[in-house]
Structure 1
Amino acid sequence: MAQRVAVIGAGPGGLISARWLLSQGFEPTVFEQAPILGGQWTGLRGISGVWPGMHTNTSRILTAFSDLAHGDERTFLPSDDVLAYLQRYAALFDVERRIRLSTKVTRIDRQGGQWVVEHGGDAEVFDKVVVASGRFRAPVLPEVPGLDTFTGSGGVATTFQFRGAERYRGRSVLVAGCAVSALEIASELAHSGAARVVVTQRRQRYVLPKFAAGVPSDHRIFTRYGTLAGEGLPPAEVDRQLREIVVEAGGSPEQYGAPDPGPSLFAAGVTLSQQYLPLVAEGRIAVRPWLRSVSGNEVAFGDGDTEPFDALVFGTGFALDIPFLSEDVARTLDVDAVHLDTDRHTFHPDLPGLAFVGMWDQSGGYFVPLELQARWIAYTWGGTIPAPDPSEQRGAIEAYRARRGMPQKTRMNLAALMFARAAGCEPDLDSWPELRRALLFGPLAPSCFRLGGPDALPGAADVFAREARAFGAIASNDMTPREQAYWSLLS
């Protein structure tokens, strides 16, 4: 009899997990608290931070799974198209009928060698559980003295609650944060009739346009070479190379009139946003130091200046929120608002039969690494690949714990290659000499992880070559002088 697996969440992570579990002979049941599948892409209040009219900041090719392409040829897709894609995917792989909608899981606990899942007053026993409930669903408001006294007519909200610029038309708005949601919302407000838009930030990040010189920026910076460089070169050299790529594509913020982020991209961070810096240069968005306090409708900034505002919008991150884990399980994982003790964000040796999908904080699109993580889980539980060694898992967890208190954001290419290696499907450069440049400096398209290993696909090489050439940057197998210079440092 096939083992039963409870999958918590019917967003991209839950759907791709169920698809690959099915391929390994498991019987997944997907629990979803919302009335429709899609997770963040539903746009439902309280469930999703996606607002009407929002477009992806990741390209079409990297916002897809390996066995279903988008029918749309636009580079950056509207959120409705992504939701429709997920619906098609669930139907194509027989996942749709296995989803229990409007079913909120309230507790997960272990019982002997099995797992008990409680929902709506009922309890069911499963052989295994995959938690794919989402990393970005509990927005955090920073502690700002007097914030609860704010009297502006537009109130205080988070970017997770933002549902369009209309309610802010004619108002002065302070947007707090420098991550993608804050910058995209500030840009939308400036374009949509807000009387004044000010961004307040703790530090200035580098800002990379979504599209530069005809190429999506996630094709430029989330490459396999970037992962190999991080493993084989001094951090300062990797920092220099990344900053060079970013500044060449979009300039440096101080050139637009924003603060200077400093010489280190690693220290400053980087955000994708197409319109933000040009709007700063035009004076339609002002940039201020971090807010120090609030009194009535007046906000005091770190430089001592004050300014009245009608509305405050905070894009200041999310807490890790997994409230349904039992006390015992949560204690074993040492869960807090930021950390979850797991081997490569997935397994814990003391919790066999439990896995997590998509619960790490990342820059860049999630679709590709989500699929690779789901394949790793399914292959491990299905016996396609050997299970991880418990002692190595404990070592990985100890290494993770040693980094607590340090920045936790992971670049998409690092996550993707980590999971691909674990799943046994990292493409071999020597096996594909005609694709060598594309595999190193081209996009980490999902098709490249079907070239070899378990579930290799006939025709994957043609698909990947076409996707690498889609925007003209990888039109031949001849490296550019800069690529040759970078590669020579590793070779």
Structure 2
Amino acid sequence: MDMKQVVIVGAGISGLLACKYCLSKGFNPTVFDLESDIGGVWVKTIKTTRLQAPKPLYQFSDFPWPESVVDVFPTQQQMLEYLRSYATHFDLMPHIKLQSRVSSISYDGPSSQAWSLWNGIREMSSSKGKWKVTVTDTRTATTQVYIADFVILCLGRFKDVPNMPKFPVGKGPEIFRGKAIHSMEYAAMDDDKAEAFVKGKKVVVVGFGKTGLDIARECASINAPEHPCTIVYRRDHWKLPDWAPWGIPMTYLYFNRFSELLVHKPGEGFVLNLLATLLSPLVSLSTTSKIAI
């Protein structure tokens, strides 16, 4: 039997796991990621970013944190080194193509793809169609089409597309005399550029989520009392972690396979549909922040 070709989009935590799993099943995976390094959202963060969850609750089951990492909440750099070590240990790097933009995905085959394949219930060979994945190498500007038996999307919740508010005409950033950027743009700057960007300026951060508070703290530490940072938010409320709504820890709910019941799946039966609907209030809503300078 020919080795099945699998394309995985995204080299973050989910993409690395998908790659390792495909290899363990005898498939031939290829992982594409636009960034120059593996790690997903950990590649571009502000310099003070740390892991929000205690490290024993945020590790691969078959690859624990090294003893050299003594911090309960590791730094961004420690997180990246951990992910690189994981990829090296399981020999995933030869299957990963970085600085590769997936521009289109199309399916060539029967009009009805068997959705039972989505959760791995049946063998992948039951599909007679092929996927065409168009990928551009951003270093050489060359484009290539890859043929795959299966495609796995591991893009994540907070990747590449900022959530910008809509403003009435004449009342948006176009009339603002300063510089308005999204937190995603700020996080993409290297440390020196970010510091130079806010140094000596009055900064207003719009948003009361974790990203907004992290950026406000960093800006305040750069400018000190001479140029205080202002946070603007809609209403006063207690700031609790999104994994502990109403002060009730939900960590063990999210960090196990029970969390799969919280989302709807293609082709799900009545029971799974009912469970996902009833448990939907437990799904935390993503928050975004915007910084104005």
| TM-score using structure 1 length | 0.44
1:64-463 superposed matches below 5 A: 64-71=59-66, 72-112=69-109, 113-120=129-136, 121-137=143-159, 138-144=161-167, 145-152=171-178, 155-162=179-186, 163=189, 164-194=194-224, 195-208=227-240, 221-224=249-252, 345=263, 347-349=265-267, 390-392=268-270, 395=273, 399=277, 409=284
Distance 1:161 1:131, change over 3 A: same
> Matched residue pairs, number?
240
C-alpha separation in 1, matches of 2:130 and 2:270: 24
C-alpha separation in 2, matches of 1:9 and 1:94: 17
Cα offset, 1:15, TM superposition: 0.5
Q: Which amino acid aligns with 1:161?
A: E
Distance 1:182 1:398, change over 3 A: closer
| TM-score using structure 2 length | 0.70
C-alpha separation in 1, matches of 2:282 and 2:252: 22
Cα offset, 1:79, TM superposition: 0.8
Cα offset, 1:16, TM superposition: 1.1
Cα offset, 1:344, TM superposition: 5.5
C-alpha separation in 1, matches of 2:250 and 2:207: 23
Cα offset, 1:180, TM superposition: 0.6
Cα offset, 1:393, TM superposition: 8.5
C-alpha separation in 2, matches of 1:202 and 1:182: 13
Q: Which amino acid aligns with 1:158?
A: H
Distance 1:74 1:397, change over 3 A: closer
Q: Which amino acid aligns with 1:136?
A: F
Distance 1:203 1:19, change over 3 A: farther
Q: Match for residue 266 of structure 1?
A: none
C-alpha separation in 1, matches of 2:163 and 2:253: 34
Q: Match for residue 486 of structure 1?
A: none
Distance 1:394 1:408, change over 3 A: closer
C-alpha separation in 2, matches of 1:60 and 1:125: 38
Q: Which amino acid aligns with 2:56?
A: I
Distance 1:117 1:226, change over 3 A: closer
Distance 1:148 1:119, change over 3 A: same
Distance 1:81 1:224, change over 3 A: closer
Distance 1:157 1:223, change over 3 A: closer
Cα offset, 1:147, TM superposition: 2.3
C-alpha separation in 2, matches of 1:150 and 1:83: 37
Root mean square deviation of aligned Cα: 3.5
Q: Which amino acid aligns with 1:59?
A: P
- Tell me if the contact between 2:46 and 2:215 (Cα under 8 Å) persists in the aligned partners: no
Q: Which amino acid aligns with 1:156?
A: A
Structure 1: unaligned runs, 5 residues or longer: 44-49, 211-216, 228-341, 350-389, 412-491
Q: Provide, for residues 374-415 of structure 1, a one-character-per-residue CA deviation record: whole Å limited to 9, x for no partner.
A: xxxxxxxxxxxxxxxx54499469949xx7xx896269xxxx
Q: Match for residue 39 of structure 2?
A: 38
Cα offset, 1:60, TM superposition: 1.9
Other structure's SS at 2:239 match: strand
C-alpha separation in 1, matches of 2:102 and 2:7: 10
C-alpha separation in 1, matches of 2:36 and 2:230: 37
- Tell me if the contact between 1:178 and 1:205 (Cα under 8 Å) persists in the aligned partners: no
Other structure's SS at 2:166 match: coil
- Tell me if the contact between 1:343 and 1:396 (Cα under 8 Å) persists in the aligned partners: no
Distance 1:63 1:204, change over 3 A: farther
C-alpha separation in 2, matches of 1:346 and 1:84: 34
C-alpha separation in 1, matches of 2:264 and 2:96: 22
Structure 2: unaligned runs, 5 residues or longer: 110-128, 137-142, 287-293
Cα offset, 1:9, TM superposition: 0.8
Cα offset, 1:209, TM superposition: 7.7
Other structure's SS at 2:17 match: helix
Other structure's SS at 1:157 match: strand
Q: Match for residue 415 of structure 1?
A: none
Q: Which amino acid aligns with 1:202?
A: R
C-alpha separation in 1, matches of 2:14 and 2:213: 26
C-alpha separation in 2, matches of 1:346 and 1:23: 27
Cα offset, 1:94, TM superposition: 1.8
Other structure's SS at 2:15 match: helix
Cα offset, 1:182, TM superposition: 0.1
Q: Which amino acid aligns with 2:59?
A: A
Cα offset, 1:57, TM superposition: 2.4
Q: Which amino acid aligns with 2:201?
A: R
Cα offset, 1:114, TM superposition: 2.6
